[in-house]
Chains A and B, each alone.
Chain A
Amino acid sequence: MYNLEFENTIMFLNYTIALSDLGTLSNMGVFSLIIINKAGGLIYQREFQAGLRKLSTNDYLVLAGTFHGVHAITRSITPKIPSVQPPSPATSSPSTTTPAASHSYPNPGVPVTGLDYLETDKFRLTCFQTLTGTKFLLFTDPLTGNVDTIVQKIYELYADFVMKNPFYQIEMPVRCEAFDRHLGAWLRGRT
């Protein structure tokens, strides 16, 4: 009885390993994940798969800070399309027309964001910013599809295992074993 159960476990293990290998080879090209807090500080960095150069911790901190600044600049260089002042009667006071209303953005109705996707020859960077200003940077293979789903899931895991962790101090580096475990398991288990 014991023996049979043992064998079953081994078979199951082999099966899961084969599955995860398949997943890694077929379409999962997630290189690494970086989480930046709202002040531009690096709070989490993890590599899942080789593909990018390894940097020192100091370099990752610099990268996080630089990206935080660049992200703000990319939002401010959004092209503004001048719009003609609405035809107003000549008697109306000109002071009511403010300069802020004299232009519109290319995609009206969509909130202005900073850098969302960055493409290079070797990787693709997806940046997701939460409403509170935390940024998730996901480095993937350029051919990986469905990156938005992956980022959303990572955000869910972050909410569940980091934000709900009573011992986690907000804006501080993430050291939550449950988050690491679930993140790794989910990314490996995806096929």
Chain B
Amino acid sequence: MVLRHIPIREGILGAAILVLLGLVSIRYSGFIAPANLANVFNDTAPLIILALGQMVVILTRCIDLSVAANLALTGMVVAMLNVAMPGLPIPVILAIAILLGAMMGAINGLLVWKLAIPPIVVTLGTMTVFRGIIFLISEGKWINAHEMSTAFTGFSRTAFLGLPVLSWIAIATVIVFGVMMSRTALGRSVFAVGGNPHAAVYTGIDVGKTQFLAFVLSGALAGLTGYLWVARYAVAYVDIARGFELEVVAACVIGGISIAGGIGSVGGAVLGALFLGVVKNALPVVNISPFWQLAISGSAILIAVAFNARAGRSKGRIILKSAEGSV
């Protein structure tokens, strides 16, 4: 009964992660020690958070390539704020980061919704614009650890019930998104818009508005991650997280989110991110070159897509009476 509710795709991916952990532990048993796994999870937390936002966007048949630039810009802004006003409380910083990120997401969403520009073009454009703005406001300078307040950099590392706050934020995001996707009208609209936009229109769902909201969500999470990222690494500069958007998209694709929209799950996105996180952390431990890591991540994407394409292939119409019920 319980097994019935674990979808096959997520099951296979989960098993793949376990196999990977098993293989690594043969070479280095310390890797699967709880403390190390917690570290791996914490290291993957930003990817998990961003993958959840990206998942919503991809489900509505869009894509958000600007998440990493959004993250970097928000990170730079909150870091500069911290330098200028060291006394600003962390909850205010968090609110500013989320709002700023959501605003950048809203720009993407409005361009897609109101001007009907293809999302890949919109976010490719805003990605470059956001990076440019970072350079303009920072004049290309770095903000280093010693310029930031200890409260600012310490927040994401503060341990709470044995895990850093960063991990807890990722867990909270997973729960919130899990509930949102399965139990709210917005979550349902996201699947409807991606699954069959024409039918969604006739159901009274505004396709453009749903896509807009998806971008806002993705932007808000990018903003949130922006602060967490800068705090964790205690440095802000133009190029932080450059190229990270592709890793985010990769996590979604490996997690079985269909690039064509409408198919995917929170569990899939999280597992996809964890898979990449494990690969990234495990390979150096067993002395495999980081270049192999790229090749393995790439292969995982191709295998996942090929697998989903096979599973998603329509089984054809049931015309024979005798075949009815057997599928």
Instruction: Indicate whether A and B interact.
Output: no
